[in-house]
Amino acid sequence: MIDVEDLISLVRNYNPNTNAELIARAYEYGRNMHEGQLRQSGEPYFSHPIAVAAILTEMQLDDATIITALLHDTIEDTGSTYNEIADQFGEIIAELVNGVTKLTNLELSSTETKQAENFRKLFMAMSKDLRVILVKLADRLHNMRTIRSMDAEKQQKKARETMDIYAPLAGRMGMQWMREELEDLAFRVLNPEGRNSIIRRFISLQKETGDVVHKISNDIRRELDNHNIIADVFGRAKKPFSVWRKMEQKQLSFSRLSDIYGFRVITGTDAECYQILGVIHKRWRAVPGRFKDYISQPKSNGYRSLHTTVSGRDGKRVEVQIRTRQMHQVAETGVAAHWSYRDGHRVENPFAVDPAKWVSGLTERIETSDSHDEFLEHVKLEMYLDQVFCFTPKGEVIKLPRGATPLDFAYAIHTRIGGSCVGAKVDGIRVPLWTRLKNGQSVEIITAEGQSPQASWIDIVKTGRAKSAIRRSLRAADRERFVKLGEELARVAFEHVGKSATRKALKIAAKSHGIDDVDELLAQLGSAEITARDIVATVYPELVAAAPDEIESTRSVVGLSADQSFQRASCCQAVPGERIVGITYRGRGVVVHAIDCEALEEFEDKSDRWVDLHWHSGRHAADHNVTLNLTIGNDHGVLGRVCTLIGELKANISDLQFVDKKPDYYRLLIDVDVRDAEHLHSIMTAIEADTDVASITRYRNLSRAP
């Protein structure tokens, strides 16, 4: 366990003006509060907060963050309180400790609804002070380094949470070294054999080829010396999980992977970065399509660097990153560079991103989501972001996630542009809207008045902003359509009982259903969330009940024993007037099929399960549901006329679903409640007579067979 003097020395290495007395008091306070507590490994518990503080010194962070690390578990695990910490160490540190405590209690891997709400709290904490997340990430890193002391089930849970949430978050914040270590530690738990196999192959490769990293590093240094360029060169084999992920994504074996080695060249100025790039490209052949200039087009977290891949020694592909020392600091610590100290002063790094602006940009699009699923989708899109840079015809740069399409580009410019998009040109060539954009391409969006977002666009776009805007537009369009359909269904249903669907009657029905707005009631009716029968029954219950001389559906079948119940098979939807047969099911009674139902074929050799049935003679209630398959012209008033015809024939529409929408025709399924086969025939004949109805058939679906 690191003692207090060693910890203070670690801080003094980069901040000689540190408040050593305050750190010492926090150290002593934390040790006293955790006195007698042990970790699962048997070590004193306070060894953990000290280790977390030491990790944060590697990022050269300020005193408040270091002290927060020492105290981050005191409120949760000891008798310490917020007020006590505020009195002894100040409000800022108390707020930070309290923020870490709240994050510790979040179950980020729980059910989706709870997970979404907890992610909102996570981003809220980030927006207040990003140092809370820095302490939490360091806390998770030390816990993963010591995860072996946990039981197997807890190891799996923590490792999965780390892989899904904390590692991507560290990467999104620009802390790539932490992301890589968190991924590798989680990989060791989740797939130990996979990780070991990668390590064994590296060892085998090293035996065959020698120390490739050392050889290539020397080659690069030699070329730089020949051009009198002063720079540091570092090389390494990529982490096991990084190699494994590439093998999975590209479906390649280890032997076929090319760029498993990475090299960094650290120099003094931007100009030297481009000079070094020229030297490397002159000495080794560049791999087409693998050059990225993050100096002229930096990532949103402040990351700047030149990336290139070349065919190096023995034809092996190697990735080279070239950056200045200031860029390297941001590349190592990401957004945390904002709080870094050197020689007792806050580092004025021109490339460090203002954390407030970064979090604001990260959360702005996420917070526009309306549902839990949408919110989680946006969080994951943002956390796994890998950007490409494209240009408008005027030369403005648009940043998008990898895999983005021209539609994403359009919505990134403006929601109005996205919503009215009908086509796109990439580098002057017309392309489909689902085309994946690449770095440096010029994109021109073609728009048209009257165009509106299509449902299929949801599967095309990549960004949360575009998905959210499309969904909002579709919801608005659907609501307007459902309200109009609901008005027609309500009118027909009320006329069916000799009444009018007045605004007052609908308001009474809405209130009875706990709905504040009449339009919302109509929208729910149009979208089949409630039925017209339910609405009419709310206002005129005495008129909806079956007439005395009608045979209710519960006693409409003859041939059952006293202890048998029945239900109509949903595959064939037999109605009175058609020949029927029953099939017995254990625990379900008898299922009634039409005699010509194809589902009966599987019961041909099971005669003991067949029951001879027929319909009760007399007038049946109009509550036998049948699905009709219609193809109608896409023109004003067609659907309204169909609904009116059904209502005039004293039938009720209980559901309506659009199956296929084309510019000229719609195909839809309508559920109609009928009395018998004759009633059904009358309805189908009347609908078929309409000039805009292309076809009508009875819909039967064997997949719905019991």
Give the C-alpha separation, 632 to 362, whole Å.
Answer: 46
Could you give phi then psi for residue 37, rounded to 5 degrees? -85, 140
- Measured CA to CA, the distance from residue 526 to residue 522 in angstroms comes to 6
Can 534 be counted among the known catalytic residues? no
From 43, 58, 77, 495, the catalytic residue:
77
Strand partners, 322: 265, 306
How many other CB atoms are found less than 10 A from the CB of residue 500?
10
Tell the residue number behind the tokens 């207040």, with chain if given.
Answer: 128
Q: Cα separation of 104 and 106, whole Å?
A: 6
Distances (CA, A) of 11 to 26, 98, 177, 436, 447: 14, 23, 20, 47, 57
In the DSSP assignment, the letter for residue 166 is I
76 is a catalytic site residue: yes
Spell out the alpha helix ranges (H) of 284-336: 325-333
Contact 435/442 with Cβ under 8 angstroms? Answer: no
- Mutual angle of helices 240-250 and 192-209, in 10-degree steps: 100
Residues 134 and 154: their CA atoms lie apart, in Å, by 23
CB contact set of 209 (below 8 Å; sequence gap of 6+): 314
Per DSSP, the three-state class of 577 is coil
| Pairing state between β 429-431 and 306-311 | unpaired
> Catalytic one among 43, 76, 444, 690?
76
φ and ψ at residue 118, rounded to 5 degrees: -70, -35
Instruction: Please name which of 472, 502, 466 lies closest in space to residue 487, comparing C-alpha atoms.
Output: 502
Beta-bridge partner residues of 614 = 558
Please give the structure tokens belonging to residue 528. 């089949």
- Which tokens sit at 654? 């209980």
Q: Can you list the alpha helix ranges (DSSP code H) found in 355-436?
A: 355-366, 372-383, 406-413, 415-419
* Rounded (5°) CA angle 370-376-381: 110
- The contacts of residue 432 (CB under 8 Å, 6+ apart) are none
Between CA 168 and CA 367 the distance in angstroms is 19
**Helix, strand, coil percentages, rounded to 5, for the chain:** 50, 15, 30
Q: 43: how many CB neighbours lie within 10 A of its CB?
A: 14
Beta bridge partners of 145: none
Among 359, 330, 303, 357, which Cα is nearest to 60's? Answer: 330
Residues 6+ apart with CB under 8 A from 535: 490, 493, 506, 509, 513, 521, 525
Distance from C-alpha of 83 to C-alpha of 88, rounded to nearest angstrom: 9
Collapsing DSSP states into helix, strand and coil, what is residue 368? coil
Q: Tell the residue number behind the tokens 């009608």, with chain if given.
A: 550
Tokens of 403: 């895999």
Helix (H, G, I), strand (E, B) or coil at 75: helix
For residues 572 and 594, what is the distance between their CA atoms, to the nearest angstrom?
6
Residue positions annotated with a catalytic role? 76-77
